[in-house]
Amino acid sequence: MTWEGSDRRARLPHDWALRRVRVLRRDGYRCRQVFTTGERCGAPGSEVDHIERGDNHDPTNLQTLCAHCHARKTAGEAAEARRARPRAQRTREPERHPGSL
């Protein structure tokens, strides 16, 4: 199995299993998601999420989430990525040449 050419975000350190367990223990296996109301989810959780997307696998960038909150966050990030993509499909107004005005 090769990691070259695979999705950058899917790359995890060799000691990921250990890091994951440490984060779960630190958080007491409880979801750390904070809702817009300021309340913490607190549901039993066994999924470890990267707070900031990317390759920072430091415990400070990791948190425990329940399956529900993790799915929601992942869906939100995917939607964000879709929005960030250039809208090539959109019908464009024909561009007028600046010199023809």
Residues contributing to the site for Zn ion (CB under 5 A): 31, 33, 41, 43, 66, 69
Q: Is the dihedral of CA 12, 18, 19, 20 positive or negative?
A: positive
Q: How far is the CB of 73 from Zn ion (least distance, A)?
A: 9
Q: Which is nearer to Zn ion, 12 or 43 (CB)?
A: 43
Question: What does the alpha-carbon distance between residue 49 and residue 56 come to, in Å, rounded to a whole number?
Answer: 11
Q: Which is nearer to Zn ion, 62 or 69 (CB)?
A: 69
Whether 16 and 60 have beta carbons less than 8 Å apart is answered as no
Those residues whose C-beta lies under 8 Å from the C-beta of residue 46, and which sit 6 or more positions away, are 24, 29, 64, 66, 67
Q: How far is the CB of 82 from Zn ion (least distance, A)?
A: 24
Q: Which is nearer to Zn ion, 42 or 54 (CB)?
A: 42
Q: Which is nearer to Zn ion, 13 or 76 (CB)?
A: 76
Q: How far is the CB of 47 from Zn ion (least distance, A)?
A: 9
